[in-house]
Amino acid sequence: MQIYFAPLQGVTDAPFRRLHAARFGGVAKYFTPFISPTQTDNLTNKELRDVFPAENPGLPIVPQILTKEVEYFIHTARVLQNLGWTEVNLNMGCPAGTVTAKGKGAGLLMNLSRLEAFLDGIFARTPLPVSIKMRLGWEKPEEVFPLLELLGRYPVTELILHARTRQQLYGGHPCVGILDEAAKSTHIPLVYNGDLFSSADCLRFAQAHPAFQTVMIGRGLVSDPALAQSVLGGPPLTLGMLRAYHEDLYRYYTAQFNARAALGRMRELGKYVAANFHGAGKPFRQIRKAKTLEAYCDAMKLLFDEYPLHDPPGFVTDGRPAGQAVTDDLREASLIL
């Protein structure tokens, strides 16, 4: 099995990826949060910094683009090629209303003839191989079949399937029942994404769906940074590993960001870290509500000193169903309005 790290806008930026790779293994590719070009001009400073080679030394990075405009895609892919990257990923999965209303992200799944014209344009001129991350469809999972038929006409290097429709947002469960038939209907190498939160989840999925040699994990890996390596037979998460890694992140973000921005970033990360601990509702709430870095550190100290890790390790969403928890995360990150 191969494991990819999913992109999480506002979480898995370049320093996060560097610090993760310095302490943990098992990730074959890190996908960047999307770059959203609004003109055939340079990327924003923030976007550029995130994909700058010096910010990602030696890491297997795949930059992601979110657009519906052929020219913006080609221009951005050229910039990424000049930076030395060898693959680009097209976002056809983002469900945020503000994104889909403009026909981008999962909005591309709404109209097959518009999608065809867009794909014709990008595959005719792309300077880099293109992989795609998408949902099963706009409304119904069965839409995946005509989508796969259309994508099969282009040299898509890899297709990452998040097994929900756009209408599901992140609610309910991924629709895994359709995956094997989908795999049979395409020659494109498929990667599975959605709700893999523990080693057991990953191994169960791999056993049930052998057509998927690769999985992409997001929240599960942000929460348990040792998840990929442990699935592949390496050491599972320990309290010492998690504490040292959290200290790395805290040191970096408090040194590089102002106190307010560092607090926002660490609160976000702290919630994922807390999802590893048994019965940690109290520190979890303190992390969410922390108004100062001191209050945040007190909550994390309580968490690390007083609460045990789940055994075996895994992401638990403070009693909320996983789908609801991720919807809340996205709303907080302003990705769903």
Residues that bind ligand FMN (CB under 6 A): 6-11, 33-34, 64, 91, 93-94, 133, 162, 193-196, 217-220, 326, 329-330, 333, 335
- Minimum gap (Å) between residue 250 Cβ and ligand FMN: 19
Which residue number, 218 or 225, has a Cβ lying nearer to ligand FMN?
218
Which residue number, 36 or 286, has a Cβ lying nearer to ligand FMN?
36
Cα 8 to Cα 40, 218, 312, 334: the distances in Å are 24, 7, 25, 12
- Minimum gap (Å) between residue 227 Cβ and ligand FMN: 10
- Minimum gap (Å) between residue 240 Cβ and ligand FMN: 25
- Tell which residue, 191, 35, 171, 159, has the closest CA to residue 104: 35
Query: Dihedral angle at the C-alpha atoms of 296, 299, 304, 305, nearest 10 degrees?
Result: 130
Asked if residue 183 lies in contact with residue 212, where contact means CB atoms within 8 angstroms, the answer is yes
Which residue number, 50 or 69, has a Cβ lying nearer to ligand FMN?
50
Q: Which two tokens stand for residue 159?
A: 């297709």
- Minimum gap (Å) between residue 10 Cβ and ligand FMN: 6
Which residue number, 188 or 228, has a Cβ lying nearer to ligand FMN?
228
At CB < 8 A and 24+ separation, what contacts does 111-120 make?
112/146, 112/147, 112/150, 114/68, 115/147, 115/150, 116/150, 118/68, 118/70, 119/150, 119/151, 119/153, 119/154
Cα 213 to Cα 26, 184, 190, 193, 307: the distances in Å are 14, 14, 8, 12, 36
Asked if residue 228 lies in contact with residue 26, where contact means CB atoms within 8 angstroms, the answer is yes
- Minimum gap (Å) between residue 91 Cβ and ligand FMN: 5
Which residue number, 198 or 304, has a Cβ lying nearer to ligand FMN?
198
Query: Does the bond joining 312 to the residue before it have cis omega, within 30 degrees of 0?
Result: yes
Single-letter amino acid, residue 174: P
Which residue number, 161 or 263, has a Cβ lying nearer to ligand FMN?
161
Instruction: Tell me how far apart the alpha carbons of residues 246 and 257 are, in angstroms, rounded to a whole number.
Output: 16
- Minimum gap (Å) between residue 45 Cβ and ligand FMN: 18
- Minimum gap (Å) between residue 311 Cβ and ligand FMN: 21
Which residue number, 75 or 133, has a Cβ lying nearer to ligand FMN?
133
Closest residue to ligand FMN using C-beta atoms: 218
Q: End-to-end alpha-carbon separation of the chain, Å? A: 36
Which residue number, 73 or 304, has a Cβ lying nearer to ligand FMN?
73
- Minimum gap (Å) between residue 137 Cβ and ligand FMN: 15
Other Cβ atoms within 10 Å of 52 Cβ, number: 13
**Which helix (H) or strand (E) covers residue 20, if one does?**
helix 14-23
Q: What is the length of the chain?
A: 337
Which residues, 6+ apart, have CB-to-CB distance to 306 below 8 Å?
283
- Minimum gap (Å) between residue 110 Cβ and ligand FMN: 17
Which residue number, 95 or 304, has a Cβ lying nearer to ligand FMN?
95
